[in-house]
A and B are shown apart, each in its own frame.
Chain A
Amino acid sequence: MTEIQSTGDDSRVEVMVPDKVPDDGMVDDAVRKKLGVGFWIAVGWLGLLVATVLLAPFLPLDEPNKLGAGPARTGPSLDNWFGTDALGRDVFARTVYGARVSLVVGFIAIAFGMVVGGSLGLVAGYFRGRVDQVISFLFFTLLSFPGLILALLITSTFDRTLRTVSLTLGVLAVAPVGRLARAATLVFAEREFVQAARVIGAKHFRIMTRELLPVVLIPMAALALLGMGVAIVAEGGLAFLQLSVEDISWGVIINDGRGIRDLQENPHVALMPIGVMFLTILALNFAGDRVREFFDVRETAFQK
């Protein structure tokens, strides 16, 4: 589950098969799809989270690293919503500040994956031939490492700053995003609007950026939401190996609270952030799923 490749479009896309909506390119008003209430709830949660993270310095929160913000090892109370940990730090404040790192890592990672993987996939799908072979082999090699192992390899050779960890997880996202972009480009490059652009003498670069990119971006948007969830989880996994950022992230907080004694005496230190993290991943997965269904990207994801 922590692996980017396992969320693979294939597994999720196949679920769509028995869909009733005929894919003839015409949108019938009767079957026009809606994003649904669930989507907006998910987006609402994500929005609330982002707002809290942005406003964190102005909120009446304890310092996340302040010792003795309350008595040590107390359960949730009005003063400390999520209780305090073994060092008396306020778990709620830590969760909010942890969200900062986790969300930033997730966002940078998927943004990097989109830009690098997307461009590589676009180039591979557009030019085909040798270029495609080389780029596809690169993707294949990247996918041949179990994801977390590759992340461990990179963070252990470099440092453990926020930037390195984010970019590492970004590298993991390159291959899955790239493969999707390539597959989508292969399909759309055959379409009339691309041929038309070619006929009027548009340059390769222009065709790729002005004609292909906008249509390829749609399936990628769905993957971006799913991928952000995967990146946040992967960061948590790295934190469990003590190889993530030297800062507070959700993974770090959960890892702090998972010792046998901590779990026995004050399980909320681990369970509260787990709950918040679960809701966030759920929201990202759900929103991503809805976006994919809404735009019906089955067509592009299926073709190889």
Chain B
Amino acid sequence: MKQFILRRVAQLVLVVFAVTFLTFASLNLVGDPLFNIVGVLSGIPDEQCEAVERGEISDTQSSGLNMGDCALIAQAKEQNNLDKNVVERYGIWLSDMVSGDFGTSFVNGDEISDIVRERLPVTIRLIVLAQIVALGIAIPWGVASAYRANRGFDKVSTVGSFGLLSIPNFALGVILLYFFALRWQIFPSRYENAGWWSELKALTLPALTLGLGLAATYQRLLRTDLITTLQEDFVHMARAKGMSDRHIMYRHALRPSMFSVITVFGVNTGALIGGALVVEQIFSIPGIGTELVEAVLRNDPPVVISLISVVAIGFVLINFFVDLMYGYLDPRVRTS
């Protein structure tokens, strides 16, 4: 077990480096970061600024240069370490990030750590709620369809889950928004947060949007595992002792049938993060997704890099813990 954990930790560290470096490098190599800070001034050739420094150009007229421009550029480069190469800048950025300093936005100078602190909890609440919705639906659903497998209800629910898996989540979001928020006005159509109750109401539709498709995935897995479990001797034993079917299903058969669900739990959290981006747009939720999209659209690389890294690291960590838990539950995994 110890060796298993060590190997997974090593893998975790490698992947975190790879993921953050990929993000950092791609946004630094393509496009000119200097342009994003000083705008068109970044077009001034280096030689001209060097000439200014040497005192060869000293009046604005002949060169078309504003004398302060070069100082501005130099300052921007200095502050953002733009004169160093990508690997060095990555190192500096990473060590700053580890110590909690995410830097500031190029565009409006906001502290990125503040953005994360403000936005991340909303997204986390949405994702947790979506998982609760998914499990809350999938467990009774899976139990009911496994209870009389291949009979009426099970057949209908197979069709139903197949259909649910084929609705894109943004389409489901629009449909739910239309019926539940606009037509019947049961839930608000926009995010509001005046106390936990109003937030819960505002997050219900988004969580359903994310959770319904997931529920279908979980239901398929749980049903299959339950059908296998129900053939086990201990289930016959329980039945022979006269326990009620409900008791057997929920108390005896359910727990050993959760393996597959736990496995895909981690992977699906990643799907939820991607889905949350889209769903936050539909319901105007001020989460990390809307901020990320805004940052992309206003061309603000430091914010984009930090947010993507936070999300990716979170995703890697979740999968890491699911992996560990799986290894703990099922000894065969450790040796593979």
Interface residue ranges, A against B (CB under 8 Å)? 1-3, 5-6, 8, 10-12, 14-15, 17-18, 137, 140-141, 144-149, 152-154, 156-158, 229, 233, 236-237, 240-243, 251, 254-255, 258, 260, 263-264, 267, 270-271, 274, 277-278, 281-282, 285-286, 304
In the complex, how many residue pairs between chain A and chain B have their CB atoms under 8 Å apart? Answer: 178
User: For window 264-322 of chain B, which residues contact chain A by CB distance below 8 Å?
Assistant: 264, 267-268, 270-271, 273-275, 277-278, 281-282, 292-293, 296-297, 304, 308, 311-312, 315-316, 319
Q: Taking CB as reference atom, which chain A residue is nearest B315?
A: A146
How far is A2 from B30 in the complex, measured between Cα atoms in Å?
Answer: 27
How far is A274 from B174 in the complex, measured between Cα atoms in Å?
Answer: 9
Q: A2-B271, A149-B308, A152-B308 given. 9 additional CB < 8 A pairs?
A: A14-B260, A144-B19, A145-B19, A149-B311, A154-B26, A236-B168, A240-B281, A271-B175, A274-B171
Residues of A within 8 A of B270 (CB): 3, 5-6, 145-147
How far is A149 from B268 in the complex, measured between Cα atoms in Å?
Answer: 14
A88 to chain B, nearest CB (A): 21
User: For window 125-144 of chain B, which residues contact chain A by CB distance below 8 Å?
Assistant: none
Main secondary structure of the interface of B (DSSP, over half): helix
A70 to chain B, nearest CB (A): 22
A18's contact among B30, B177, B227, by CB below 8 Å, is which?
A: B227
The reply to whether B275 and A1 form a contact with Cβ atoms under 8 Å apart is yes
Interface-central residue, B22, B168, B227, B268, by most chain A CB under 10 Å: B168
Residues of B within 8 A of A5 (CB): 267, 270-271
The reply to whether B274 and A2 form a contact with Cβ atoms under 8 Å apart is yes
Residues of B within 8 A of A1 (CB): 165, 167-169, 213-214, 271, 275
User: For window 38-83 of chain B, which residues contact chain A by CB distance below 8 Å?
Assistant: none
Cβ of B262 within 8 Å of any chain A Cβ, yes or no, is: no
B111 to chain A, nearest CB (A): 22
The reply to whether A240 and B292 form a contact with Cβ atoms under 8 Å apart is no
Residues of A within 8 A of B168 (CB): 1-2, 233, 236-237, 277-278, 281
The reply to whether B278 and A241 form a contact with Cβ atoms under 8 Å apart is yes
Interface-central residue, B23, B171, B271, by most chain A CB under 10 Å: B171
The reply to whether A243 and B296 form a contact with Cβ atoms under 8 Å apart is yes
How far is A146 from B310 in the complex, measured between Cα atoms in Å?
Answer: 12
A254's contact among B26, B170, B224, B274, by CB below 8 Å, is which?
A: B170
Interface residue ranges, B against A (CB under 8 Å)? 11, 14-15, 18-19, 22-23, 26-27, 30-31, 149, 162-163, 165-171, 174-175, 177-178, 182, 189, 213-214, 217, 220-221, 224-225, 227-228, 260, 263-264, 267-268, 270-271, 273-275, 277-278, 281-282, 292-293, 296-297, 304, 308, 311-312, 315-316, 319, 336
The reply to whether B274 and A237 form a contact with Cβ atoms under 8 Å apart is yes
Given contacts A263-B182, A277-B168, contact A285 B177 (CB under 8 A): no
A139 to chain B, nearest CB (A): 11
B174's contact among A10, A147, A152, A258, by CB below 8 Å, is which?
A: A258
Q: Taking CB as reference atom, which chain B residue is nearest A260?
A: B189
- Chain A to chain B contacts (Cβ below 8 Å), 29 pairs: A1-B167, A1-B169, A2-B271, A5-B270, A6-B271, A12-B220, A14-B221, A17-B228, A144-B18, A144-B316, A146-B315, A147-B271, A152-B277, A152-B296, A152-B308, A153-B26, A156-B304, A229-B166, A237-B168, A242-B293, A243-B296, A251-B170, A270-B178, A274-B171, A274-B174, A278-B166, A282-B162, A285-B162, A285-B165
